[in-house]
Amino acid sequence: MTAAPAPAESSGKLNLLGLDRKAMEAFCAGRGEKPFRAVQMLQWIHQRGIGDFEQMTNLSKAFRATLLQDCEIRPPHIVHEQVSSDGTCKWVLQTDEQNRVETVFIPEESRGTLCVSSQVGCALECSFCSTARQGFNRNLSAAEIIGQLWVAQRELGIGAVTNVVLMGMGEPLLNFNNVVAAINLMLDDNAHGLSKRRVTLSTSGIVPALDKLAEVSDVSLAVSLHAPTDELRDELVPINQKYPIRELMAACKRYIGQDARRKVTIEYVMLDGINDTPVHARQLVRVLNTVRSKVNLIPFNPFPGSDYRCSSRDTIQRFSEILQKGGLVTTTRKTRGDDIDAACGQLVGKVKDRTQRTTRLAAAN
């Protein structure tokens, strides 16, 4: 099914795409409709991918007329598509006149994973990330976040996406309310109905927001660690200066609680000569020895202007073996979509840079 064209700019109508069940029930109640109408609308919008109110035939004609006058279903608009030789698909989505974000679908034999963006650009300045180099403009709305899944399902067919990872552009926990509303729609049985084990939020470590997330959600958690010491992580992931590794690991343990089945995925990008020595590996074992976790080693994807290189295959293998001997479940991520700049850390979109980071970097060079 092909997504219908959608305008990048709002018509001034209320966009219902980002309303989770609680918000949709409040919307319906404000118009004199009973709560079951909210369930019907969620099913039409998210389970069937319908954006035309006239097709929602179990709603009354009067209610449909009100919806047509005051509301809309407006997803982000696909302006460009690239398909990798390995089947990975990257969409560039227009969010407004000045900004675009990127979303990636990774097909595998047993699942289809959608990598979703949460911000236009990124407010953090991780030194090895191409997205971070683009600067930051704004948070995405809940409609723009869930809209990436909505568009993917219409493009690929309902059910093609079995897993969602909030690992695209942006730091999800810096856009807390909108991300939580979108997650609610991903999990709601009357919307996308994904298992909480199949929705993963990746964070660089915003500790207070992570504790807050634990109060309202228990989706899977991934943490962008990338270094075993504060000194090195301060350089690679500057937010560490505010929330150091000890505090972050304590927050991870609080998030997964006492459930022995739950683990935190530790993401660790492999940078040649920077964080990939046997010493680093042994330090990482010590950091994680009290945290129920699994480690995902990520080969670095070079991008223009980067001073980093990817660790060699032998180095990554040796690093992995040390972690495994130390008792850590460890995998090495298979690089996907690197020929279309869709691999980890390469999403750039188009950002009206409020931070002026691109200008500052250009001046420094």
Residues with active-site annotation = 102, 344
Q: Is 50 within 8 Å of 41 (Cβ atoms)?
A: no
Provide the residue type at 336 as one letter: R
Q: Is 262 within 8 Å of 256 (Cβ atoms)?
A: yes
CA dihedral 288, 312, 115, 101 (to 10 degrees): 120
- Cα distance between residue 35 and residue 28, in whole Å: 7
Quickly list H helices, 43-123. 61-70
Q: Residue 291, class by beta-carbon neighbours within 10 Å (0-12 exposed, 13-18 middle, 19+ buried)?
A: middle
CB-based burial, 106-139: b 16+ in 10 Å, e otherwise: beeeeebbbbbbbbbbbbbbbbbbbbbbbbbbbb
CB atoms within 10 A of CB 365: 6
CB atoms within 10 A of CB 12: 7
- Taking the alpha carbons at both ends of the chain, their separation in whole angstroms is 46
- Cα distance between residue 280 and residue 113, in whole Å: 31
Q: Is 344 within 8 Å of 303 (Cβ atoms)?
A: no
Q: Is 143 within 8 Å of 18 (Cβ atoms)?
A: yes
- Cα distance between residue 203 and residue 122, in whole Å: 12
CB-based burial, 59-98: b 16+ in 10 Å, e otherwise: beeebbebbeeebbbbbbbbeeebebeeebbbbbbbbbee
Quickly list H helices, the chain. 21-29, 35-42, 61-70, 130-133, 142-156, 176-187, 207-216, 230-236, 245-256, 278-288, 313-325, 357-364
